[in-house]
Every structure is written in C-alpha cells, then in structure tokens.
Amino acid sequence: MTIEEVQNEIIDEFSMFEDWEERYQYMIDLGKTLPLIENRYKTEDNIIKGCQSKVWVHANMKDDKVNFTADSDAIITKGIIAILIRVFSNQHPKDIIEANTDFIDKIGLKEHLSPTRANGLVSMIKQLKLYAIAYQTQLN
C-alpha cells in the first residue's frame, strides 16, 4: 500500500467512532499492536527529542524500504507513534520524505492533544522523516 492509501484507511477507521473517548481507546489499542523496538535500541540516541513522554524509534532499511520499530512509556503516545509507523513503515525513503501528513488533521488528532503532546507529534514526524533522509542519501 502507498502512504496515501494507508492514511486514507486510518481516516476511515477513525471516522467510525462517535467521539474522542472512543478514538483515544482505539489509539491505545493501536499502541498495543506496535512493532516493538528491541531493548538494545532503547538508548538515549533513539529517544525522540521534544516529546513529553519517552519515545524510542529505531529504523532500518531492507530492499530499499524503511522499517520502523518503536516504544513509549505512555499509552497515548504509544498509540500516536503506532499510527505514524503504520503510515511510514515499509515505504521507500523518498516517499516518506515527500509524504503529506494532512491525515492527522483529518482525523482531528492534533486538536485533541495537549500542546506538549502536539509538539511531540511534530517531533515524531520530523524524526521519522530524518531517518528517511539519511537512508535516501545512502541510496543516491
């Protein structure tokens, strides 16, 4: 699936819920399905700066596609990073770099986060794109 197709799938899933209480619960459930980072990657180098909670992300590239694993010490944040990893994992670095993240506004996520969590969301996207830039540089 393309990044846009995954994003549209997420928009459809979130539109099934009546209120944000249900959407938060869904995000928590998504966090439980997160491809967990190995403990050896839970290092200071892999912590996303700018997040209120601790969020670790590790990336590797296989067959010109970037794969991400992550974890967080907070359940909502774990759900947020799970959504982002679902969108960006197993995609070509160039596609990740060029990806639009309007789907976040379409599901209403940013407006339902505290300012510090919203800043953390921006930091997560930025970090995932930085990994993609690094891998794209290797491919060039």
Of the candidates 85, 48, 39, the residue with the CA atom closest to the CA atom of residue 66: 85
- Please check whether residue 77 is in contact with residue 67, taking contact to mean a CB–CB distance below 8 angstroms: no
- The single-letter DSSP state of residue 89 is T
Half-sphere exposure of 85 (CA within 13 A, CB side): 27
Q: For residue 75, which of 94, 57, 100, 53 has the smallest C-alpha distance?
A: 53
Residues serving a catalytic function are 51
